[in-house]
Amino acid sequence: MSKPFSNFKFPIFLGLWVVINLLQAGFTQLDPDEAYYWIYAQQLDWGYFDHPPATALLIKLGTFLLPGELGLRFFIVLANALTLWVIWDLADRPQRGRALYTLLALLVAMPFLHLYGFIATADAPLMLFSALFFWGYRRFLAKPDFSSAALWALIMAALLYSKYHGILLIFFTLLSNWRLLRMPWFYAAGLMGAALFLPHLYWQYSHDFPSFRYHLKGRDDVYELEYTLTYLLNQLVIFSPLLLPSIVLVFFKLPFTDQMQRSYRVVVFGFWLFFLWSTSKGHVEPQWTAILSIPLVLLLFAYEQSRAFASKTIIVLGLVSFGLLLVARVGLLLAWGPLGKQFDNRSWVTALESKAKQLPIVFHNTYRNPALYHFYTGQKAYELTTAQYRKSQYDLWNDEEELLGKKVYLVLDQKTYCSVCDTLVLGKKTMLGTVLEDFQVVEKITLQVLDAPKQARVGDSIQVQLKLHNPYPFAVDPNRGTFKLRLGLGFHRDGQFLWEEYGVPSVPLEVWAAGQEYVLNAKFRIPLKFRGKLDLIFGLRYGELQPTLASEAVKIMVQ
């Protein structure tokens, strides 16, 4: 092979990688979260309930060019290719021989570099801008001037616009090199990056900080040992289990040779320890540490480089891992196995569409299913959030106003109690469904607790005073529709829904005029089975469904 041709080995690999990912992107059905991000992209904004807007922007750009799943994922594929190119550059661009083959074997062995080569979620742009962050950091260390600071600032802003986890990468990199605090251009980079992120912060402020409130508080659960054990097990396997012994060896035998390697180590250990601590607050998703694929590849490559690439072990293990990952990717493509099941959605959506008979569909307590339904049918679907679930982007938008007074088709999970619902067998998926006449919209109606007892005994009836506010530009009649509206109370502990009760108002509920407020007095029963500190969240109930999340939580001690 001629020397000039050998210099193109990595670009050739990257081209083949892009082709594989484009084929996978075009023929693999959507994961539910991808459909949810596609919903974001229908209304571009500076922020969304769950995440910043980078993924939505990439999806929007792709759907301008191409239809279907391929359009949705097109720029994700390109972002992944650029991620690999940046990693290659950070490894000093090996051109041939074992150096190149070692790096390629490491890249194709990393599960997350496969997954976010075609899956359009927030982790895909996060991976790209994490790699670029290290690239910008290296440039800044070599030449700390205005141009390096400005470029690094732009990358840091893009990192945060991808996913909030980016702040951890910035922090742990600073932790690895406190001397940055003595460099004026570091402060310039930080200030410029913060300025670029201001539009998103303003969006959060104008929407009452929904993302921060959810991520910092709304996900807290009671600690379970299972959370920690599952996290530790996941971390042992998600960076290619065949490479685990080599990863362990790196941290014991690879000497510190430069500031970049130091930052890689601190970032890896920092992320692992931070999310280990996070298991005290609830379940930690495996992909939350996905960006560690980048420093781990670079550390493993540096270790092999320090040994003059004397062994083929990494290459062999990497290729075996690659083969196993290709089998898994085929499983996703054909919707086989437990992972493939998550991508097998078109069939149940089509079956549900035929049962709904053109009625607008309202999904109960799921933001994923309305997004999938909308994508695969082209018909907008809606979400109804109640006390057993959490809010989403659907709760920030006002789309539910379109449903006032209409006949709708309510779809629920098969485990939800609904005495008037039919069982819907939709291929491999089973749900419940029923038609609701004259639907009354209450999603944005709020209840302010004016007076409630601080203590009670099990079985007691408590008297509560509430202020109801109807923000809609139309009246809502609680006595109309298939499911009449009633006051409801959800009992929660440590963020977990426990129980629900009806409220008995002192006077019958009447029409709530547009933009008006009403003081309601009602009695609620304290359940017999729960003692101790509880949170009370009041709402409105559609018939026998759980109450909406209409009030802030108030605390009560039950004896």
> Domain for residue 136, yes or no?
yes
Residues 118 and 64 in one domain: yes
Residues 70 and 96 in one domain: yes
Residues 275 and 398 in one domain: no
pLDDT of residue 220: 65
What's the rounded mean pLDDT across residues 230-251?
94
337 class by beta-carbon count within 10 Å (0-12 exposed, 13-18 middle, 19+ buried)? exposed
Token reading at 488: 């409801």
Contact 108, 321 (CB under 8 A): yes
Residues 69 and 163 in one domain: yes
| H or E, element range at 85 | helix 68-90
Token reading at 266: 């601190």
Query: For residue range 433-470, what is the model confidence (pLDDT) as tens digits?
Result: 999 999 999 999 999 999 999 999 999 999 999 999 99
18: containing domain: 3-338
pLDDT of residue 214: 87
| H or E, element range at 23 | helix 9-27
> Domain for residue 553, yes or no?
yes
What's the rounded mean pLDDT across residues 194-212?
96
> Domain for residue 441, yes or no?
no
What secondary structure, in 3-state letters, does 372-434 show? HHHHHHCCCCEEECCCCCCCCHHHHCCHHHHHCCCCEEEEEECCCCCCCCEEEEECCEEEEEE
> Domain for residue 23, yes or no?
yes
Residues 162 and 311 in one domain: yes
- Report the CATH number at residue 523: 2.60.40.10
Final residue of a domain: which of 338, 373, 404? 338
Contact 295, 267 (CB under 8 A): yes
Residues 76 and 129 in one domain: yes
* Residues 29, 468: Cα–Cα separation, whole Å: 43
Give the Cα-Cα-Cα angle 418, 420, 422 (nearest 5 degrees). 90
CA distances (Å), origin 184, targets 29, 187, 521: 49, 5, 61
pLDDT of residue 72: 98
Residues 427 and 514 in one domain: no
* Residues 366, 389: Cα–Cα separation, whole Å: 8
> Domain for residue 251, yes or no?
yes
Q: pTM of the full predicted structure? A: 0.93
> Of 52, 53, 34, whose CA–CA distance to 44 is shortest?
53
> Count of H helices and E strands in the chain?
21, 13
pLDDT of residue 169: 98
Neighbour order of strands in the sheet with 422-426? 382-384, 361-364, 408-413, 429-436, 422-426
Residues 458 and 517 in one domain: yes
Residues 183 and 111 in one domain: yes
Q: List, as one string, the DSSP characters of 156-190.
A: HHHHHHH-TTHHHHHHHHHHH-GGGGG-HHHHHHH
Q: How many domains would you assign to the chain?
A: 3
Final residue of a domain: which of 338, 364, 399? 338
* Residues 30, 259: Cα–Cα separation, whole Å: 41
Residue 276 burial (CB count, 10 A) = 15
Query: For residue range 400-433, what is the model confidence (pLDDT) as tens digits?
Result: 999 999 999 999 999 898 989 999 999 889 999 9
Residues 241 and 138 in one domain: yes
Final residue of a domain: which of 404, 436, 468? 436
What's the rounded mean pLDDT across residues 80-101?
96
